[in-house]
Amino acid sequence: MQFDNVDKQIINALYQSGRESLTSLKDIIFKKDDETMSHTGIAKRITKLEDKDILKVQGNININEINYKTLFILMEWSNYEEIKSIVSSYSECPRVFLLAQVTGQYNLIMGVLGQSLDVLHRYVNHCGPTNKKGLLHSALIFGSDFIRPKYLPLNLFSNESNEHNCGNICVDCEAYLDGKCDGCGNF
């Protein structure tokens, strides 16, 4: 999709502050050099971008400020069917903030979030995809502070738990039963 100048201005303004009101946006979004957009016109543009799944205005979280840690799992899977299975299994996991197919030595990368390195280690050992059939090779990279993006779109505090999608049921997990893990739905 090609963005026109108005769409670019709206996206930039919302990037700077997603809390901007339509009334304040109408003062900074220009149709022409000296003609501003109406708040109704801006609302229609935002709705159009949302309907096309191009834009989503949401509350994002600075994980550095809440002292959460990150883990990147680089994986090489034996075939595309295995990749599709992992993506399907982990796409709704509350700990996973990134799933992307990549080219090179690895063919899938996963970003995982945890309250501590211990939580991330337990995730790898008990819940993560590195224990699944079809994995040829993997590498783990534990991250320190996130530099960019500063804020991540995370749904940490949903009442829904989707840990069953990965095939690991918390109530059957040794780490969960021993009290070493609170489960993926508990942030």
Cβ neighbour number for residue 33 with a 10 Å cutoff: 5
Domain map (residue ranges) of the chain: 5-51, 69-177
- The answer to whether 140 and 73 have CB atoms below 8 angstroms apart is yes
Whole-prediction pTM: 0.82
| 41-80 pLDDT, tens digit each | 999 999 999 999 999 998 899 999 999 999 999 999 999 9
In words, the CATH class of domain 69-177 is alpha beta
Task: Give the chain's end-to-end CA distance (angstroms, integer).
Answer: 37
Residue ranges of E strands in 54-167 = 69-77, 96-101, 108-114, 135-143
For the stretch 131-157, pLDDT in tens is 888 999 999 999 988 899 999 988 877
